[in-house]
Amino acid sequence: MCGIVGAVAKRNVVPILLQGLQRLEYRGYDSAGLVVVNQAKLERARSTGRVVELTQRSAAITGHLGIAHTRWATHGVPSERNAHPHMSDELIAVVHNGIIENYEELRTDLTAQGYVFTSDTDTEVIAHLVHSFYKKGASLLHATQSSLAKLIGAYAIGVVAANNPEQLICARKGSPLLLGIGENENFIASDMSALLAVTKNVVYLEEGDVAEIGIDTYRVFDAQGKAVQRQMHVSELTNDSVELGEYRHYMLKEIYEQPQALANTLEAVCNSQSLVPGIFGAEAAASFSQIDSILILACGTSHNSGLVARNWLEEIAGIPCNVEIASEYRYRVSVANPKTLVVTISQSGETADTLAALNHAKANGHQHTLAICNVPESAIIRQSKLRFLTRAGPEIGVASTKAFTTQLAGLFLLTLVLAKLRGKLTSKQEQQHLHDLRHLPSAVQAVLNLDTSISKLAEKFANKHHALFLGRGLHYPIALEGALKLKEISYIHAEAYPAGELKHGPLALVDKDMPVIAVAPNDTLLEKLKSNLQEVRARGGELFVFADANTRMQSSDGVSVMQMPEHAGFLSPILHTIPLQLLAYYVALQKGTDVDKPRNLAKSVTVE
Ligand code: F6R
């Protein structure tokens, strides 16, 4: 989704803005732009190409104050005229993430006042609104605050004025924004990775905050306009963690980072002799003792991890669990049970639908909330009572990989902790699970060794237009995740079914042009799955089976069997995810698509 960078400094800020935008490219965008203040004038460059094209277009621009933006179109097609920054009367310039819901009404009012709109965006109303207050003598801060009072919707904004060469105003509500504090220079960004080259000191703005930033000062005001102190943190992000290094794509890098990401996520637990609720927050023990069911809310890949967890939670902890797509739950009239623990799962912690679902649950009377999330200080973390941070490190590739497997690790820990509290786990079982968790990173590493074989397998998909993924039980959500990965980055239409559903409809699709990928762990459903695969083979469908060792399945005509190194019991879904990630990656390479930035998609979906 859209990205924001802004800077005020004693040096030329254009290289800082461009480098920041480059760092934000992973979020997905279709146009980019920047504006700087130079000798009481706004100088703007915009482009519908990549940031590198914007760099060429801004070669002649310099200034000590500026704001920049990558846009992911919502209102108005991707085009130069719709790219940010938007300006009013060559005096005010604005960048904006989010959606202004009442922009049509505001546009009508502003048009009646004589403002001429030059774009189809909702953002342009903010520029004209700020202008309307500023030209009447309000300070830039007050003009922005008065404008924000008229907006309905979500925003993170940066505002500059041509005649105010050392002041940057910014605000957030519903979209992330942070301040980067440097020495004699200060910055704003929607994501810390944009600022790593210039500072590690970060101040996270809270909902409704407005900030006024100068070269060596900054002031933050809350939604009521009261001056407030917001704590400064030192970011733990490193340049290396957001660099590509030796890898061709971030997605491949992140697939390969999974052993380390899992080790980091499990560190506290694996170094201890027993499981304690405290890993989910100080109030976890009290909350967990009051609950009788779980409701998981998430989107996309994070929703798939919730579907795996439902199986664990019901089988191991014996606690009823529902999993709902956040964008559906938020608008559904549902019956709330105050004894339910609401678990939101999100890599970014800023997904608009998941955040809205969390707030909807709270408004419905749910008090027990837990966030499983990869980004500390994200909105979902801050708005939940309990939290578990996956320590996957920054995920740049749009297709989620290491975030998914570390979410699964967190959800497995939740299952074990609840099972223990509910008397469903003997101490021997607890020790066995801890042993399996300690072994998990090396088990994942062993699966990564299948890389070359999977890249060869992928060649068979180069000319396919459709694919079917099958799994059963714990592994049906892994089939869903495999299909999601393939469609996202290779644009092959892929669907997943519980294998037992095949003969209830989808079998009609099976012929020699429909590859069928089966997730076949050595579990209690294996024999049933084998029968389902016979049904496919009998219709001429080509099978690609990811089987565990000891499944006694062999490759034969039309059947390619890939042997996984071992069977990991309850943790098997984590291992079986890895080959499907690699398959999607190598098929996308065959197809020549933009692996890290697939068309139409964005990394962090901060709008509805
Ligand atoms: C798929 C993918 C998306 C996200 C979804 C939720 O590869 O990345 O489906 O999982 O947009 O995002 P988060 O987890 O940030 O809430």
pLDDT, tens only, 381-428: 989 999 999 999 999 999 999 999 999 999 999 999 999 999 999 999
Using CB atoms within 10 Å of the CB of residue 463, give its burial: 0 to 12 exposed, 13 to 18 middle, 19+ buried. Answer: exposed
The fold for domain 250-448 equals Rossmann fold (3.40.50)
What per-residue string of b and e applies to 420-450 under the rule 16 or more CB within 10 Å gives b? bbbebbeeeebeebbeebeebbebbbebbeb
The rounded Å distance from CA 486 to ligand 1 centre is 14
Lowest average pLDDT, out of 142-146, 172-176, 231-235, goes to 172-176
CA distance 314 to 508: 33
**Greatest CA separation for the chain:** 80
Task: Give the mutation target among 411, 603, 605 for probing the ligand 1 site: most ligand atoms within 8 A of CB.
Answer: 605
Could you list the active site residues? 2, 603
- Ligand 1 pocket residue status of 400, Cβ below 6 Å: yes
- Ligand 1 pocket residue status of 581, Cβ below 6 Å: no
Task: Name which of 190, 414, 412, 374 is nearest 281 in CA terms.
Answer: 414
pLDDT digits (tens, 9 = 90+) for 177-227: 999 999 999 999 998 889 999 999 999 998 899 999 999 999 999 999 999
Given this model, what pLDDT does residue 569 score? 93
Contact 521, 548 (CB under 8 A): yes
One-letter amino acid at 315 equals E
Query: Does pLDDT of 576 surpass 80?
Result: yes
pLDDT digits (tens, 9 = 90+) for 118-128: 999 999 999 99
- In the structure, what pLDDT confidence band is assigned to residue 599 with cuts at 50, 70 and 90? confident
Q: Where in the chain is the domain with CATH 3.40.50.10490?
A: 250-448, 451-591
Report the nearest-CA residue for atom 5 of ligand 1.
300
227 CB neighbour count, 10 Å cutoff: 9
- In the structure, what pLDDT confidence band is assigned to residue 498 with cuts at 50, 70 and 90? very high
Phi–psi pair at 195, nearest 5 degrees: -110, 0
Task: Name which of 136, 142, 137, 111 is nearest 124 in CA terms.
Answer: 111
Give 543's strand partners.
516, 559
Query: Does pLDDT of 240 surpass 80?
Result: no
- Specify whether the backbone of 380 is left (phi greater than 0), alpha (psi in -120 to 50) or beta: alpha
Question: How far from each other are the two terminal CA atoms of the chain, in whole angstroms?
Answer: 11
Task: Give the mutation target among 26, 344, 345, 348 for probing the ligand 1 site: most ligand atoms within 8 A of CB.
Answer: 348
- Ligand 1 pocket residue status of 572, Cβ below 6 Å: no
Q: Can you tell me which residue has the tokens 């407005």?
A: 210
Report the nearest-CA residue for atom 8 of ligand 1.
400
pLDDT digits (tens, 9 = 90+) for 443-459: 999 999 999 999 999 99
pLDDT digits (tens, 9 = 90+) for 296-313: 999 999 999 999 999 999
Query: Does pLDDT of 160 surpass 90?
Result: yes
Task: Name which of 123, 243, 168 is nearest 5 in CA terms.
Answer: 168
The fold for domain 3-242 equals Glutamine Phosphoribosylpyrophosphate, subunit 1, domain 1 (3.60.20)
The rounded Å distance from CA 493 to ligand 1 centre is 18
What per-residue string of b and e applies to 154-172 under the rule 16 or more CB within 10 Å gives b? bbbbbbbbbebbbbbbbbb
CA distance 545 to 1: 36
One-letter amino acid at 555 equals S
Name the average pLDDT for the chain: 93
Given this model, what pLDDT does residue 358 score? 97
- Ligand 1 pocket residue status of 399, Cβ below 6 Å: yes
Given this model, what pLDDT does residue 238 score? 79
Lowest average pLDDT, out of 129-133, 243-247, 587-591, goes to 243-247
- Ligand 1 pocket residue status of 354, Cβ below 6 Å: yes
Strands 227-228 and 218-221, bridge-based pairing: antiparallel
Q: Where in the chain is the domain with CATH 3.60.20.10?
A: 3-242
Report the nearest-CA residue for atom 16 of ligand 1.
346
Give 204's strand partners.
178
Given this model, what pLDDT does residue 540 score? 85
The fold for domain 451-591 equals Rossmann fold (3.40.50)
CA distance 19 to 7: 12
The rounded Å distance from CA 571 to ligand 1 centre is 22
CA distance 210 to 466: 49
- In the structure, what pLDDT confidence band is assigned to residue 602 with cuts at 50, 70 and 90? confident
